[in-house]
Structure 1
Amino acid sequence: MKTKFVTAALGAVLGFAAATTASAGTLDDVKTKGFLQCGSNTGLTGFAQPDTSGNWTGLDVEMCRAIAAAIFNDPNKVKFTPLTAKERFTALQSGEVDLLVRNTTWTMSRDTSLGLKFAGVNYYDGQGFMVRKSLNVTSALNLSGASVCVQTGTTTELNLADFFRSKGMKYEPVVFEKSDEVNKAYDSGRCDAFTTDASGLYSERLKMTNPGDHIVLPEIISKEPLGPLVRQGDDAWFNVVKWTLNAMLTAEELGVTKANVDEMLNSTNPDIRRLLGKEGKYGEGIGLSNAWAYQIVKHVGNYGESFERTVGQGSPLKIARGVNALWSKGGLMYAPPIR
């Protein structure tokens, strides 16, 4: 889910605060306190979900763990701050969290008005619709006159309005502030359809009283590149977050996995040797040890392993890689070279 940007006045104030916080050096601060503070979803299966013991799992969670592994050689040196869509940007701007990895869409307004900076895309998504099978609806184009549950204060709400307006259709928005409220309202029958990112729909469907009674319609009505954010003005920290994601993608492309990473230390492939710190001093270039990427793969794995485990075929969501496949396999995932 995606929150609309704050007012210009508030953005200016918080932007100044963000710049002040960033100037202190987030990487140094993280090293000093001994752990990473990661802003996350309050609970979205496959992306960020705590269990009853407070153990967090999910694709976004593993991104945070990979950064901790790169810095500390320990993926558990991270604490998670659950944030609602409304709270997330303020928490990062104020320095409450070191970064935000919370299924957040990269947009121009967020890139230019919040004092924040996207460090890449860790999941390409798009907004969709879920309905009950009993409605006998097979396309979003059949939803004219429908009531639609949506989280307020989000770009999801704006995309919904754009879609119906562009198709000349009418609808009744049923809005709630929290995602759990949207889910419960739809499940109880207060609206005909539920809209959010398609990945979120597959996750929320698992929470329904009878998950098999619901289908996700085929239409994708928006582009939702989701990725980690940091504060502007702290390029050293930006580089750590950006290259952690790039290292996970590069490892998948080169076939370096959790299972074979130790064996790969003896590889003669120059690309693998640079990735794993056997040649060059690329870790030093981002303020880390030269084993930074080795530590990521050893503790967390490459991007493909993380994807399949959290949202892919090895997870309850069973989401196909699709556009999230590597560029060499028909997807959009592409990392600059380490050299």
Structure 2
Amino acid sequence: MRLAKFGVVLGGLILGAGLALPAFAQPAADTLAAIRSRGQLVCSHAPSTVGFSLPDSQGVWRGIDVDYCRAIAAAVLGDATKFRIVPSSTQQRFTMLQSGEIDVLIRSTTWTLAREVSLGLAFAGVNVYDGQGFMVHRDSGVTSARQLDGATVCVQPGTTTELNMADFFRTNRLRYTPVVIENIEEIRNAFITRRCDAYTNDASSLASFAAGQGANASRYLLLPEIISKEPLGPVVRKGDWRFFDIVRWVHFAMVTAEELGITSTNIETFTNSPNPDVQRFLGRTGDLGRMMGLENDWAVRVVRAVGNFSEVWERNMTPIGFPRGVNNLWTNGGLQYAPPMR
């Protein structure tokens, strides 16, 4: 580091005189070492969202976000059961990650410029390409979001959902009254009991809500308008780029496995495959795992634990009626695309 005439030069970045680096730019803790020392990965998920994260009747957490936690534990610790879940609210989630209370946030969280730039956090990938929608009571007769003039709308505070809703109604010159409720169960109950005319959230979350109503699911209608882009995925602290790489490539490993036709049930049959990409994926050639501080068969551990991306989707998202759509592989008209593992 050297002093410059008008500021400080640090790593090629000139800071204005009198300006300090934000706290999140300080050297990051070694998350991988901390996980191995405690023998457990700590993840945070939403407390009750079918398809994403919800304890079953036996108290076992299920959902696509939970599977990502299991996959990371398998890659890092060699055991997909060595993780602990700390549920978080929309208001608490970022603070919990910033403080080090959790290692990774995988909680239906939208990747935005402001969140990545201002919070000291980095999004490691997109496990669900989503978009915000509106749900109404089917007997209301409403079939389009543009018919919601004067409606009351249930929404969670401190979310991109709240901002997108305001933009939508302003753009379309529609009046509305937000019914702002923090707790997800309370907001759903408010909609069920008609304290609000409509409920807005990510389309996947609305599908999850309806699926959770069982025989009453047909009472609710998801309107056709999608008013935003909501790329959802795991979040880690900036600065600890080795752990960032691990979380990002765990996702890419699931996508790559689907591209290669490797599943949790057939992976053993690929051992003698002549395909160089398969041999690198299995860790039988190259040193890709050790580049990240992992064993070279880390991707095999991921697939054995949770399957490829298609298996994870079919297990969690298909049952709630959320179509794969843009979450298909790029070879099938979707956006899921993994860089080469070489």
Are residue 146 (structure 1) and residue 151 (structure 2) matched?
A: yes
SS in structure 1 at match of 2:288: coil
Are residue 47 (structure 1) and residue 52 (structure 2) matched?
A: yes
| Residue 52 of structure 1: how far off its partner (Å) | 4.1
SS in structure 2 at match of 1:283: helix
SS in structure 2 at match of 1:41: coil
Q: Is the 8 A contact 1:326 1:334 kept in 2?
A: yes
**Which residue, 292, 312, 316 being the options, matches 1:310?**
316
RMSD: 1.7
Are residue 263 (structure 1) and residue 269 (structure 2) matched?
A: yes
Q: Counterpart of 2:5? A: none
Measure the CA separation in 2 of the matches of 1:306 and 1:72.
20
Q: Report Cα offsets for 1:109-160 as digits up to 9, x if no partner.
A: 0010001000011100000010111111111111111111111221111111
| Residue 23 of structure 1: how far off its partner (Å) | 2.7
SS in structure 2 at match of 1:44: coil
Residues 162 and 332 (structure 1), Cα distance of their counterparts in 2 relative to 1, 3 Å cut:
same
Q: Is the 8 A contact 1:195 1:201 kept in 2?
A: yes
Q: Is the 8 A contact 2:128 2:327 kept in 1?
A: yes
What is the number of equivalent residue pairs in this alignment? Answer: 323
Q: Report Cα offsets for 1:164-190 as digits up to 9, x if no partner.
A: 100011111111111111101000011
Q: Is the 8 A contact 1:120 1:242 kept in 2?
A: yes
**Which residue, 305, 313, 332 being the options, matches 2:335?**
332
Q: Report Cα offsets for 1:240-261 as digits up to 9, x if no partner.
A: 1011001010000110000110
Query: Unaligned stretches of 5+ in structure 2?
Result: 1-19
Q: Counterpart of 1:220? A: 226
Letter aligned with residue 76 of structure 1: T
**Which residue, 136, 139, 142 being the options, matches 1:137?**
142
| Residue 217 of structure 1: how far off its partner (Å) | 0.6
Q: Report Cα offsets for 1:310-337 as digits up to 9, x if no partner.
A: 111xx2x022110000011000001110
Q: Counterpart of 1:234? A: 240
Q: Counterpart of 2:290? A: 284
Letter aligned with residue 339 of structure 2: P
Q: Counterpart of 1:158? A: 163
| Residue 53 of structure 1: how far off its partner (Å) | 3.4
Q: Is the 8 A contact 2:211 2:321 kept in 1?
A: no
Measure the CA separation in 1 of the matches of 2:155 and 2:212.
16
**TM-score for both structures, normalised by structure 2:** 0.91
The runs of at least 4 aligned residues of structure 1 exceeding 2 Å deviation read 51-54, 206-210
| Residue 196 of structure 1: how far off its partner (Å) | 0.3
Are residue 93 (structure 1) and residue 98 (structure 2) matched?
A: yes
User: Which of these two proteins has the greater Rg computed from alpha carbons?
Assistant: 2
Are residue 251 (structure 1) and residue 254 (structure 2) matched?
A: no
Q: Counterpart of 2:122? A: 117
Query: Unaligned stretches of 5+ in structure 1?
Result: 1-12
Q: Is the 8 A contact 2:50 2:212 kept in 1?
A: no
